[in-house]
Structure 1
Amino acid sequence: MTEENPDTPHNRQTQRALTSRDAKFPEEYRDRTADDEISLIDLWLVLLRRRWVIVGVFAATTALGSAYALTQDSEERFVTPVQIGQYMDEEGNINSLEPAQQLVTRLSESVLPAMRHRLATELAEEDPDLDTHQEAAPPSIKVTLPDEENHEGLLLLRSSAPLANTPEVELFHNNVLDLINEQHNNLLDIEKTRFESIIANEKMEIDELIAERYQRLQDLENKLEGAKDDIDEIASEHSIQKQKLEHHIADAEARIEGFEKQQEQIQEKIARLEQRREFLQGRETTLSELISDFRPAELRSLEDTESLSNVATGMMLRGSLTANLHYQLSAVREELSLGLDERRSELEDRLLRNQYNLQTVQRELAERRNEAAQLEDRFERKKSEAERKLAERELRLEQFEERFDREVQRKRNELRVLERRQDHFQPTSASVIAANIGSGDDRRSLIAALSAVLGLMLGVFGAFFAELHNRAREMLSLGQSSAEDS
């Protein structure tokens, strides 16, 4: 690679141009070495020298922009607040049919462009005199969220259009709202259907619970009636057996009473026999004494008798008396030895038999009374057991009814809560369509301001461009002069 020779004609020409340029700057900047750095002082000096270019370009651009702004029609701003529909789930949480940010994205990226194209086509077909697509285009819509954080589920449809285009704006906003409602109503119907299905299931569960309660209540009442019937049957059986035992006891008591009366009668007869025996024994003694006393008296009477006829008569009388006494004595002795003993033996046998029968009946009475006591004991045990079962079933029935009432009340409360939650199903709606919120005259001010900023920028660019063009011409003329001198 060869070194560059600084004495070449081109290098010398460049050096002279730089020296000539430095002559136009102040003294303290003339000896600066040329390099690739940008000097802010150079730039400021350029702007000062070309200030009239900047002013001219700025004035021209601002004037043109202001003139354009004045030619623009005055636009009104329209807004439609859209409240996204809500629904409440079974847990009590309020949810939006669609998240607001998701709806904004969907409308901005797909729905609104498609609708603008479709409406532009319809407007063009309705008015063939519109030559350009721009003239036939419907007003634009900007979808935004409110600045306040407490407006959850609310979005704004904003449009700017001339006041004369208010019907088109309202139509476009209505179409957008209808499209949103079409989808949201489907979602709301799905949620309503699901919620109604839950409510129907709750009602069905309550009906099934009532039917189950009725069936189980019938079973428990049947068992309760069965327990009561068991108690009545036990009482009836006890009553029958008790009546039988009481009849047997009464019969035995009556028989005992009869046997006791017979025993008393027999004892009375035996006592009378004993009295009869004593009487007969006394009579026997009396008769024996009479007979024994009658013989000496008879002999004395014979000795004392004066005549034979009187003796015969006396003998006859005494014989008759003696025979009668002996007869009576024999009858008494016979009754004592035979009749009384037989009758006493017979009465004693009857008394023994009566005592045996009495003891037998007494034992039977004791057995019957023992059976009656056992019957009462068994009856009390069976009755207590049946009453215990009856009390348990009554308690079970009461507890079941309490559990059922609590469960049904809980289900009905849940059903009422679900039915009240249906009031929270709100469709997507707009309180007002394309409300005019004021004039859009600030658009003209914006155009004028942008024109001023653009004019300033173009003026600065024009100043530098003019400086560059001037320097290029100077260097070219210097180069040509050097070439002619050489």
Structure 2
Amino acid sequence: MNNAYEQQQMRDDEISLVDLAAVFVRRRYVFYIVFVVVTLAGLAYALFTSDKYEYASLLEVAEQGDGRPIEQPAAVIATIENRWLQEVSTRFRAEHEKKLPFEVNASNPEQTRLIRLSSESDKENAEVVKDIHTTLIDRVKQHQGNLISSEEKSLQRQIESLEKVIEALEGQQFAGEALARAIEKRVSLERQLEQLKPVEVLVVSRESAEKTGPRRALIVVLAGLLGGMVGVFGAFLFEFIIRVRAQLSANASA
């Protein structure tokens, strides 16, 4: 007897697909309203959001002898991201009372000494992007300029020291081999000094030919899908609320 009662209760608690379909049909106007509102909101966002473009800057890090960078691009990028960009963002927030309206990404094209700064923004902020990129480039130039200056001073000291050694060896009778090595070393250092190359800025905040966003068609499609899902949920939620109120009213009347 108890088993039969429990099975009957389970059957009463079960909700069939037919019941779900009936609920959805009965509350379909809720689905329509939610679907239309969400889809129109997505359409409005797609239509009124400004076009975005990519702005890219390109620079080549300073070079010492034999094409070697005076500082590895990865180290420069780490300094940009963790120090200089933070300083620039903080200053912008203090001056404008808002955060930067775009991100700045730094990368190093494989097997090059190049550093690429890129930002995605609308044309209204194009000058701001240029200012930020220029500031970061100036920081790199200043930092690497100091490294070049230190390298120049080091090479000049070594050359001056070798000049004294050469002068001392020139007066000795059996110093030919040592003199030749000293002269060869001086020539090598002078070549390294000549090969020192500062940071070269190739491009500053160049705007992409094609816009990068927003993808309006995709936004509308996603808004439609979201509207459908939220609409179905809203229809069943509305039915649930109606039934709860009816039950509460019935209990109150009893």
Same fold (TM over 0.5): yes
- Which one has a bigger Cα radius of gyration? 1
Do structure 1's residue 177 and structure 2's residue 137 form an aligned pair?
yes
Alignment deviations for residues 159-215 of structure 1 (CA, whole Å, 9 cap, x no partner)? 23333443332222111111121122112211222222222222222222223x1xx
Partner of residue 458 from structure 1, selected from 227, 230, 234 = 230
Distance 1:69 1:441 in 2: 14
Distance 1:104 1:48 in 2: 61
Alignment of 1:439-478 (within 5 A): 439-440=210-211, 442-445=213-216, 447-448=219-220, 451-452=223-224, 454-466=226-238, 468-469=240-241, 472=244, 476=247
Question: What is the one-letter code of the residue matched to 1:208?
Answer: A
Normalised to the residue count of structure 1, the TM-score between the two structures is 0.43
Contact 1:160–1:440, Cα closer than 8 Å, also in 2: no
Contact 1:46–1:463, Cα closer than 8 Å, also in 2: no
Distance 2:74 2:232 in 1: 43
SS in 2 for 1:74: coil
Instruction: Label 1:414 to 1:464 Cα distance change in 2 as closer, same or farther (>3 A).
Output: farther
Instruction: Label 1:477 to 1:157 Cα distance change in 2 as closer, same or farther (>3 A).
Output: same
Instruction: Label 1:141 to 1:200 Cα distance change in 2 as closer, same or farther (>3 A).
Output: farther
Normalised to the residue count of structure 2, the TM-score between the two structures is 0.75
Distance 2:70 2:90 in 1: 29
SS in 2 for 1:433: strand
Runs of 5+ consecutive residues of structure 2 not aligned to the other structure:
none
Contact 2:23–2:236, Cα closer than 8 Å, also in 1: no
Instruction: Label 1:82 to 1:54 Cα distance change in 2 as closer, same or farther (>3 A).
Output: farther
Aligned to 1:82: 59
Aligned to 2:88: 115
Residue 150 of structure 1: how far off its partner (Å): 2.4
Do structure 1's residue 412 and structure 2's residue 207 form an aligned pair?
no
Alignment deviations for residues 280-307 of structure 1 (CA, whole Å, 9 cap, x no partner)? xxxxxxxxxxxxxxxxxxxxxxxxxxxx
Contact 2:56–2:206, Cα closer than 8 Å, also in 1: yes
Alignment deviations for residues 208-252 of structure 1 (CA, whole Å, 9 cap, x no partner)? 2223x1xxx3xxxxxxxxxxxxxxxxxxxxxxxxxxxxxxxxxxx
Aligned to 1:196: 156
Runs of 5+ consecutive residues of structure 1 not aligned to the other structure:
1-5, 7-11, 26-41, 125-132, 218-399
SS in 2 for 1:438: coil
Aligned to 1:61: 38
Contact 1:74–1:439, Cα closer than 8 Å, also in 2: no
Residue 154 of structure 1: how far off its partner (Å): 2.3
Which stretch shows the higher mean deviation, 155-164 or 173-182? 155-164
Distance 2:148 2:114 in 1: 17
> How many aligned positions are there?
247
